[in-house]
Structure 1
């Protein structure tokens, strides 16, 4: 059984730009540590989807349990939401802080700092993609030891992701993230297909061709950008499957969707999972 812990506030003294002190104002990270006899030292920060208006448990808790089965430590992020009055950059601040926190407490949790990835679904996939395209190596002069750590993920896992804030976007996610009538430059900055560079980490991407909520072109455009910049990636497009599919199974995941099995194979290639 995976070891789980209580949610940890990302900022014990309060998040930057917090609008209050209620639970909705306190972003947290919940550790799901893989069993000691399986643990590989790799870790993934998991960003559930929900249109930047909610957080879907099956894209957080369930993913964490599945990763634990593979020996990967998982950390489920509760990030701030548009429905609680937040806009960019609060969400990006939260995922960046989560990546730093995992590295800052690596020795405590048995994590290899060089093997920390990020995973997200739908709008959580957009958040993960922003973490993959907006990062720094940490501030060595910071008084807060967490801020000294890098927030660059070592890999990304994007599940039916929102990628663009342009014409291909999911309107509800865009509204919750950027508000009405955002600056065109901000739209460009948060369109992840336009922000890929040669330093973007390797990615695993999957989507369904008939997704009626988030257009499959989001995944295709991001993969194309990775290809142009010679960033390694795996892309899986399935003909059918509703949006929000997740693992299409419940714990202990006797028959997960084929994407999950392909992910395990890919994670072995990335040395996140034992051969």
Structure 2
């Protein structure tokens, strides 16, 4: 009897984890920006869809995990967040983007943003067939994923896949940037992310191009930012500079600050009882798009 109960409990847990998760084919016409006859290993883009049991909002999230552009922290900064959003009735997608690799890519600087733009376009193109009411689509990114999310939010005038897509299609409706890498300037950047994305030889044009606090305009999407003061991996000045640029351009934004917590904690900062996640939902519900 005990074994039966244990088995049923485990099945319930597994079902709860698996329900609503679907792996989607991001590219149907071949992988762009890939060198011919090169073994890509597991450095392949993937898109996972979490459909809530009951969709309660006309807002969809594209989640981009961090990892310093050296790996993708897809569980605690991806799948766990998607499940939390789905539990609140938000459709959510998790992107595993390609890591910058010069031996695999024609241009390693653009592989990740190509995948992010493709994912955003995919969500907008297939929302109805996926059972999502057409509405707002925002991007949520952690750390280096926050850098990619801010790139998606400031580079929408450039179609990195050269498919003639408009800035309207490529612009997220809002951004959630969580302990994000924003700048490529040495005084505040995460040097590992910088080296992996645009190194090892740094052109000033690339530093400026991917320092996204410099790319904010009045058309940049509203942004919710979160950072900890004691983050020694990615200084809080990254979030502050992006917020300041948004404010100068009259773009709605909020910076949620923890005194402690460091870097990379994901959904829950165990050093502080406040929840950035709950605060972000309140901010989003109050946002006038």
TM-score by length of 2: 0.83
| Mapped contact 1:126–1:163 kept (Cα < 8 A) | yes
Match of 1:246 among 253, 258, 266: 266
CA distance in 1, matches of 2:135, 2:156: 15
Q: Say yes or no: does 1:260 pair with 2:281.
A: no
**1:167-203 residue CA offsets vs partner (Å, 9 max, x unmatched):** 2110000111112112111110100000000000011
1:83: Cα distance to partner? 5.5
Q: How much does 1:34 deviate?
A: 1.5
Report the Cα distance in structure 2 between the residues aligned to 1:111 and 1:152, rounded to whole angstroms: 19
The one-character-per-residue Cα deviations of 1:76-100 (angstroms, maximum 9, x if unpaired) are 0010113585521111111011000
2:93 counterpart of 1:75? yes
RMSD value, Cα: 2.7
Contact 1:24–1:84 under 8 Å retained in 2: no
Distance 1:111 1:238, change over 3 A: same
Of 157, 163, 176, the residue aligned with 1:157 is 176
SS in 1 for 2:170: coil
Give the equivalent residue in structure 2 for 1:231.
Answer: 251
1:14 corresponds to 2:30: yes
227-236 or 13-22, which deviates more: 13-22
User: Which has the larger displacement, 195-204 or 61-70?
Assistant: 61-70
Could you tell me which runs of 5 or more consecutive residues in structure 2 were left unpaired when the two chains were aligned. Answer: 1-15
Q: Is contact 2:60-2:135 (8 Å) kept?
A: no
Counterpart in 2 of 1:90?
111
Residue 108 of structure 1: how far off its partner (Å): 1.4
Is residue 206–residue 235 contact of structure 1 (8 Å, CA) maintained in 2?
yes
Alignment partners' CA distance in 1, 2:48 and 2:277: 22
Determine if contact 2:218/2:249 at 8 Å carries over to the other structure: yes
SS of the residue aligned with 1:10? coil
Q: Deviations over 1:6-64 (max 9, x none)?
A: 4223212322112446453431210011122x432321110000000111120000110
Q: How does 1:50-199 map to 2 (within 5 A)?
A: 50-56=67-73, 57-82=75-100, 85=103, 86=105, 87-136=108-157, 150-167=169-186, 168-199=188-219
Query: 2:191, 2:275 → 1: CA distance?
Result: 29
1:261 Cα offset (Å): 1.3
Conserved? CA contact 1:123–1:162, under 8 Å? yes
**For residues 195 and 126 of structure 1, what CA distance do their matches in structure 2 show?**
12
**CA–CA distance in structure 2, aligned partners of residues 84 and 4 of structure 1:** 36
Asked if the contact 1:4/1:30 (under 8 Å) is kept, the reply is no
Q: Distance in 1 between matches of 2:58 and 2:288?
A: 10
Q: Is the 8 A contact 1:45 1:74 kept in 2?
A: yes
How far apart, CA to CA, are the structure 1 residues paired with 2:288 and 2:155? Answer: 24
Identify unmatched segments of 5+ residues in structure 1.
none
Distance apart, 1:215 and its partner CA: 0.4
**How far has the Cα of 1:257 moved from its partner?**
5.0
The structure, 1 or 2, with the larger RCO (C-alpha pairs under 8 Å, 6+ apart) is 1
